[in-house]
Chain A
Amino acid sequence: MSGLSSAHSVVEPGIWSKRIAGTLVVIYALITMIPLLWIFATSLKSPPDSISYPPKILFTPTVEGYCNLFTTRSRQTQDYIESLGPPANVCEEIARDRSMVVVGASKYWPRFVNSLVIAFGSTFLAVFLGTLAAYGFSRFKVPLADDLLFFILSTRMMPPIAVAIPIYLMYRELGLSDTALGMILLYTAVNVSLAVWLLKGFIDEIPREYEEAALIDGYTRLQAFVKVVLPQATTGIAATAIFCLIFAWNEYAFAVLLTSGTAQTAPPFIPTIIGEGGMDWPAVGAGTTIFLVPILVFTILLRKHLLRGITFGAVRK
Chain B
Amino acid sequence: MAEVRLEGLGKSFGTSRAVTGMDLVIADGEFVVLLGPTGAGKTTTLRLIAGLERPDAGSIRIGEEDVTGLSPAERDVAFVFQQYSLYPHLSVFDNLAFPLKSPARRWSAGEIDARVRDIARMVRIDHKLDSKSTKLSGGEMQRVAIGRALVREPSIFLMDEPLSSLDAKLRADLRLELKRIQSEIGATLLYVTHDQIEAMTMADRIGILAEGHLTQIGSPREIYTAPANLHVAARLGHPHINLIKPGLLPCQSMPDGVRTIGARTEHILVEAAASVAQGNGRVDWIEHLGDQNHLHILVDGQKITLLADPYSGFKAGDPVSVSLKQPLFFGADDRRITDV
- Does A pair with B? yes
Given that A212-B52, A213-B79 are contacting pairs, would A219 and B84 also be in contact in the complex, using a CB cutoff of 8 Å? Answer: no
Given that A210-B84, A232-B88, A232-B89 are contacting pairs, would A218 and B99 also be in contact in the complex, using a CB cutoff of 8 Å? Answer: yes
B105 x A218 contact (CB < 8 A): yes
Given that A212-B72, A232-B89, A317-B134 are contacting pairs, would A217 and B102 also be in contact in the complex, using a CB cutoff of 8 Å? Answer: yes
By a CB distance below 8 angstroms, the chain A residues around B104 are 218-219
Asked if B98 is an interface residue, CB under 8 A from chain A, the answer is: yes
Given that A209-B81, A209-B83, A212-B52 are contacting pairs, would A219 and B89 also be in contact in the complex, using a CB cutoff of 8 Å? Answer: no
Asked if A57 is an interface residue, CB under 8 A from chain B, the answer is: no
Asked if B87 is an interface residue, CB under 8 A from chain A, the answer is: yes
Which residues in window 76-107 of A have CB below 8 A to B? Answer: none
| Smallest beta-carbon distance A234→chain B, Å | 8
| Smallest beta-carbon distance A99→chain B, Å | 63
By a CB distance below 8 angstroms, the chain A residues around B105 are 218
By a CB distance below 8 angstroms, the chain B residues around A218 are 73, 99, 102-105
B78 x A216 contact (CB < 8 A): yes
By a CB distance below 8 angstroms, the chain A residues around B81 are 209, 212-213
CB-CB contacts of B4-31 with A at 8 A, as 1s and 0s?
0000000000000000000000000000
Asked if A48 is an interface residue, CB under 8 A from chain B, the answer is: no
B98 x A217 contact (CB < 8 A): yes
By a CB distance below 8 angstroms, the chain A residues around B98 are 214, 217, 227
Residue of B at shortest CB range from A215? B72
**Measured CA separation A61–B83 after assembly (Å):** 63
Asked if A260 is an interface residue, CB under 8 A from chain B, the answer is: no
**Measured CA separation A84–B256 after assembly (Å):** 127
By a CB distance below 8 angstroms, the chain A residues around B88 are 232, 317
CB-CB contacts of B67-104 with A at 8 A, as 1s and 0s?
00001110101110101110111000000001100111
Which residues in window 218-234 of A have CB below 8 A to B? Answer: 218-220, 223, 227-228, 231-232
Asked if A207 is an interface residue, CB under 8 A from chain B, the answer is: yes
A219 x B103 contact (CB < 8 A): yes
- Interface range on chain B (Cβ under 8 Å from partner): 20 to 34
| Smallest beta-carbon distance B83→chain A, Å | 7
CB-CB contacts of A200-214 with B at 8 A, as 1s and 0s?
000000010110111
A215 x B83 contact (CB < 8 A): no
Q: Total number of A-B contacts with CB less than 8 angstroms? A: 59
A209 x B103 contact (CB < 8 A): no
A223 x B103 contact (CB < 8 A): yes
**Measured CA separation A215–B78 after assembly (Å):** 10
B87 x A210 contact (CB < 8 A): yes
By a CB distance below 8 angstroms, the chain A residues around B134 are 317
B52 x A217 contact (CB < 8 A): no
Asked if B187 is an interface residue, CB under 8 A from chain A, the answer is: no
**Measured CA separation A219–B105 after assembly (Å):** 10
By a CB distance below 8 angstroms, the chain B residues around A220 are 73
Given that A215-B71, A216-B73, A216-B78 are contacting pairs, would A228 and B87 also be in contact in the complex, using a CB cutoff of 8 Å? Answer: yes
**Measured CA separation A220–B72 after assembly (Å):** 9
**Measured CA separation A215–B84 after assembly (Å):** 15
Residue of A at shortest CB range from B152? A217
By a CB distance below 8 angstroms, the chain B residues around A219 are 73, 102-104
Residue of B at shortest CB range from A227? B98
| Smallest beta-carbon distance B132→chain A, Å | 11
| Smallest beta-carbon distance B255→chain A, Å | 49
Residue of A at shortest CB range from B103? A223
| Smallest beta-carbon distance B151→chain A, Å | 9
| Smallest beta-carbon distance B41→chain A, Å | 18
Q: Looking at the complex, which one of B79, B85, B87, B103 makes contact with A216 (CB distance below 8 Å)? A: B79
Asked if B50 is an interface residue, CB under 8 A from chain A, the answer is: yes
| Smallest beta-carbon distance B265→chain A, Å | 40
By a CB distance below 8 angstroms, the chain B residues around A223 are 102-103
**Measured CA separation A218–B153 after assembly (Å):** 13
CB-CB contacts of B44-80 with A at 8 A, as 1s and 0s?
0000001110000000000000000001110101110
**Measured CA separation A210–B87 after assembly (Å):** 7
| Smallest beta-carbon distance B233→chain A, Å | 34
Given that A215-B52, A219-B73 are contacting pairs, would A207 and B84 also be in contact in the complex, using a CB cutoff of 8 Å? Answer: yes
Residue of B at shortest CB range from A231? B89
| Smallest beta-carbon distance A244→chain B, Å | 23
**Measured CA separation A210–B104 after assembly (Å):** 18
By a CB distance below 8 angstroms, the chain A residues around B73 are 215-220
CB-CB contacts of B152-186 with A at 8 A, as 1s and 0s?
10000000000000000000000000000000000
A-B pairs with beta carbons under 8 Å apart, 12 shown: A207-B84, A209-B84, A212-B50, A213-B81, A213-B85, A213-B87, A214-B98, A216-B72, A218-B105, A219-B103, A223-B103, A232-B89
Residues on A lying within 8 angstroms of B by beta carbon are 207, 209-210, 212-220, 223, 227-228, 231-232, 317
Beyond A210-B84, A212-B81, 13 additional contacts (C-beta under 8 Å) are A207-B83, A207-B84, A212-B50, A212-B52, A213-B81, A213-B85, A214-B98, A216-B75, A218-B103, A218-B105, A219-B73, A227-B98, A231-B89
Interchain residue pairs A-B with the least CB separation, the first 4: A218-B102, A217-B99, A218-B104, A231-B89
